[in-house]
Amino acid sequence: MDLTLRIWRQADGDAAGAFAVYAIAGINPDMSFLEMLDILNEQILADGGEPVEFESDCREGICGTCGVVVNGIPHGPEKATATCQLHMRKFHDGDTVTVEPWRATAFPVLRDLVVDRSALDRIVEAGGFITAPTGAAPDANEIPVPKEAAEASMDAAACIGCGACVAACPNGAAQLFTAAKLAHLDLLPQGQAERFRRTEAMVDRMEDYFGSCTNHGECEEVCPKEISIDFIAMMNRDYIRAKFKNLRRLGQRKVG
């Protein structure tokens, strides 16, 4: 398979970027997209050039490190697939393939296809945890968890934090990511004690960096784990409740 690649090249965050065009030949259709980029970089190095910078780690669709926009679609044309699991058989001999970094104000480009996604980390740091007493680990069945709650929590926990939802959203919103990180804790008994404080803290931090959701649904469409936008509805409901509950708690604290 022979391809023409249009790849975004940018020396650093302050430099002006532009597309560079590369011809690459002999690509095996069974290769992954990232393996194809590895071969391209070997070719560029052999010609004395600077390799294309991109991120990857597990290459199994688990870590969320990978992620580029392929022909205008975050993660590429295959639904429910991270870039590292996208195979070249989804393309055709002679195709021109355009590869870009995530496009979002909250994700500044660091170099080539690498962006700074630390804004997502700031959201998790604001409340994505459960305070637990120290001591020996409790028995596995000590806290009963309803089957439906456990399954919904696992669905939300499947989020790998890749940021495709942000890159696809016309508003650069992170509601799907934040809602998933909230739901996988808030649906479990262990997460109830801090549910509303967590929700208010994480949503407020999200709004420091990202745009607002206007229900385009693009986030769900490109999510490699097919996280449902139903979790956004749950987050919005809890956020309204949190504002009242946390305000009342603050008032009681002042009176006391």
Token pair of 75, please? 């993660």
pLDDT at residue 225 is higher than 60: yes
Q: In whole numbers, what is the pLDDT of the chain averaged over residues? A: 93
Report yes or no on 46 lying in a domain.
yes
Among 208, 199, 209, 128, which residue's Cα sits nearest to residue 166? 209
- In this prediction, residue 135 has a pLDDT band, given cuts at 50, 70 and 90, of confident
Check whether residue 121 and residue 244 sit in a common domain: yes
Check whether residue 103 and residue 230 sit in a common domain: no
For the chain, the domain total comes to 2
Strands 3-9 and 96-100: parallel
* DSSP per-residue string spanning 168-233: H-TT-B-HHHHHHHHHHHHTSGGGSTTHHHHHHHHHHHHHHHSB------HHHHH-TT---THHHH
pLDDT digits (tens, 9 = 90+) for 52-68: 999 999 999 999 999 99
**pLDDT of the residue at 67:** 93
Check whether residue 76 and residue 54 sit in a common domain: yes
Q: What is the pTM of this model?
A: 0.91
Check whether residue 23 and residue 100 sit in a common domain: yes
**pLDDT of the residue at 246:** 67
Query: Which amino acid, 115?
Result: V
Report yes or no on 104 lying in a domain.
yes
Residue the block writes with tokens 């052999």? 46
Report yes or no on 148 lying in a domain.
yes
Check whether residue 98 and residue 211 sit in a common domain: no
Check whether residue 50 and residue 83 sit in a common domain: yes
CATH number of the structural domain spanning residue 159:
1.10.1060.10
CA distances from 69 to 11, 75, 201 (A): 18, 6, 30
Three-class DSSP category at 238: helix
Q: Could you tell me the residue range of the domain that residue 19 belongs to?
A: 3-111
| Bridge partners (DSSP) listed for residue 87 | 32
**pLDDT of the residue at 255:** 43
Q: Where are the alpha helices (DSSP H) in 28-88?
A: 33-46
Report yes or no on 137 lying in a domain.
no
Query: Which amino acid, 255?
Result: V
pLDDT digits (tens, 9 = 90+) for 187-221: 999 899 999 999 999 999 999 999 999 999 999 99
